[in-house]
Amino acid sequence: MDDFSTGRIDNIRHLLRYDTFSFVRHDVIASLDIPVNEIYNLACPASPPHYQADPIHTMKTCVFGSLNLLELATRHQARIFQASTSEIYGDPQVHPQPENYWGNVNSFGPRSCYDEGKRSAETLFRDFHAQYGVDIRIARIFNTYGPRMRPDDGRVVSNFIVQALKGQDITVYGDGSQTRSFCYVADLIEGFIRLMGNETTIHTPVNLGNPAEFTVRELAEKVITMTGSSSHVVYQPLPIDDPRQRRPDITVAKHELGWEPSVALADGLESTIAYFERQLVRPNSELFEVA
C-alpha cells in the first residue's frame, strides 16, 4: 500500500505480474479494514526536504497512520512492525546511541514534525501493546541508502551521487565534520525480517544500522573518487537542528536477532552509483501513474 507521495510505481512494477502480490493505492491517514496477519508500517517521508514540505501531513502520517494500523492489527490480531528512526535521538549527547537513551530532541523546530511524529508513534505502539496485547516490533533505523532511492530524495548519499554524476559541486552543509553511519538497504531488510520472525518476541525498540562511522566530508570524497567525477566540494551553512553525530549501538540486534550489517560502504555505494547512472540515462517517466 502506498499513496506515492514519495514512492514510485516503477519500484514495484516487477511484482505486479504475480497473482500472490496485490497493490492498494491509499493514504494511511485514512482508515481502512483489510484482512492481514502482518503489517510493516514504513509510511512517512524520510528525507528533510520531503517531510518538511508538508509538516502537518507528516505528523498526521506518523500519528493518525500509526493509530489506524494499530487498530487494524488489533481487530485482526496481527503482528505489526513500526519503522521508527534514529531521529528519535535528535542531536545526541550520548555516543554511540543505545536504545535506552531518551534523546535530545527539539519539539519546536523544522525537523520536529518528523522527530516528534516518530516518537509519538512509538508511544502509540507501546500503549497498544500494554492495553490490548498487540504484538508490536519497533526498529529505529539509522541512515539507509541503496538502489531505488529517488534522485531528488534529498538525503546525503543520493545528493552526493547525483551531483557527482552530473559534474556539479558537491554540497556539504556545515564543515563536513559531522558524522553519519550508513546502512545498505539489503542489510536493513534482513534486520526487519529477523525482528518480525517467530524466533523473537522483542516488544521494545531495536536499533538497526551500520556502526561504521564516517564524516560527511569523507563520504563526499569517497563518492567523487568512485564516480571519477570532476566535482568540487562546496560548503553551505548547517541546517537548524542537524545532528552533529550519529552512530547506532547495535548490541541488542546482535544478541537478540543475531544480526549485524555485512555490506561495506564502498560495496553499497558501488551498486547505488550504478543504479543512479541508469536513472540519469533513462529518467523514470512513470513516477506517479498506476492503474
Which of 51, 89, 114, 184 is catalytic? The answer is: 114
Q: Which residues of 85-119 are buried (b: 16+ CB within 10 A; e: fewer)?
A: bbbbbbbbeeebbebebebebeeeeebbbbbbbbb
Most distant CA atoms of the chain, gap in Å: 58
Cα–Cα distance measured from residue 65 to residue 129, given in angstroms and rounded to the nearest whole number = 17
Cα–Cα distance measured from residue 53 to residue 55, given in angstroms and rounded to the nearest whole number = 6
Q: Are 44 and 114 in contact (CB under 8 A)?
A: yes
Sign of the alpha-carbon dihedral angle for 212, 217, 146, 240: positive
Q: Are 88 and 198 in contact (CB under 8 A)?
A: no
Give the number of other Cβ atoms within 10 Å of residue 260's Cβ: 15
Q: Are 26 and 32 in contact (CB under 8 A)?
A: yes
Q: Active-site residue 40, yes or no?
A: no
The pairing of strands 183-184 and 144-145 is: parallel
Question: What separation in angstroms does the CA of 225 have from each of 38, 119, 178, 200, 222?
Answer: 43, 38, 20, 42, 5
- Classify residue 261 by burial, with Cβ atoms within 10 Å: 0-12, 13-18, 19+: buried
Cβ neighbours of residue 74 closer than 8 Å, sequence gap 6 or more: 128, 132, 134
Active site residues: 114
